[in-house]
Amino acid sequence: MNPIPQDILHRLIRLSHELGREDRALAILGEGNTSADLGDDTFLVKASGSQLGTIDEPGFTRVNAAPVLEAIDHPELSDDEVRKVLEASRVDSAARLPSVETFLHALCLKEAGAKWVGHTHPASVLGVLCSKLGAEPFQRHIFPDEIVVCGRNLAVVPYVDPGIHLAVAVRDSLRKFMDEHGAAPKVILMVNHGPVALGQTDRDVLNIMLMLDKWARILVSNF
């Protein structure tokens, strides 16, 4: 196994710190997670218990994508069995347990073709997603920059508890979206949960999250 590219690791740490900045209110405490593809059927993902705003090198775990993706075909797995999949997916068995959202990240990186992924719980975006309107307000465009940065169409996933069942719902939404639009989305909105940004660069992910925050604040101001 090739060593972890330090440039990617350091950029992932920097992206996580940007998303976890307290003044941005995109994620607090242990909320949210990030990942980056390593180009060899492995990827880095935030380890369970890490915090985006303060994460360092040991806060990320390198995982093999194959067993994670295979497990999504078996949503009947128990919590103990899911944990065993996550443990077995680690390239380094001494590394920390990867986030339960590792399944979601594997789909975004390997099935949707993203190179960088960020998932946060912005107070602004959740103000919309947790309302009676859910993701519907984000389906109407109100200014040009959100189309440029976030894409003309966004994928939507109804609320499902985090873990393998959420991954199944995300996979279904991604496949439907790609069938309808011929390309992967830049944004997945998980109702009552939060957004996922899919980028080709780390900067893409940050830009998408910042634009979603602006978009949501404008929407709420017009409710």
Q: Is 13 a residue whose pLDDT tops 90?
A: yes
31 exposure class (CB count in 10 Å sphere: 0-12, 13-18, 19+): middle
Alpha-carbon distance of 42 to 40, in angstroms, equals 5
- Segments of the chain assigned E as strands: 33-37, 42-46, 60-64, 116-119, 155-157, 187-190, 194-199
pLDDT digits (tens, 9 = 90+) for 29-74: 888 999 999 999 999 999 999 999 999 999 999 999 999 999 999 9
Alpha-carbon distance of 47 to 33, in angstroms, equals 8
Pairing state between β 155-157 and 187-190:
parallel
Helix pair 202-221, 6-19: axis angle to 10 deg:
10
What is the value of pTM for the model shown?
A: 0.95
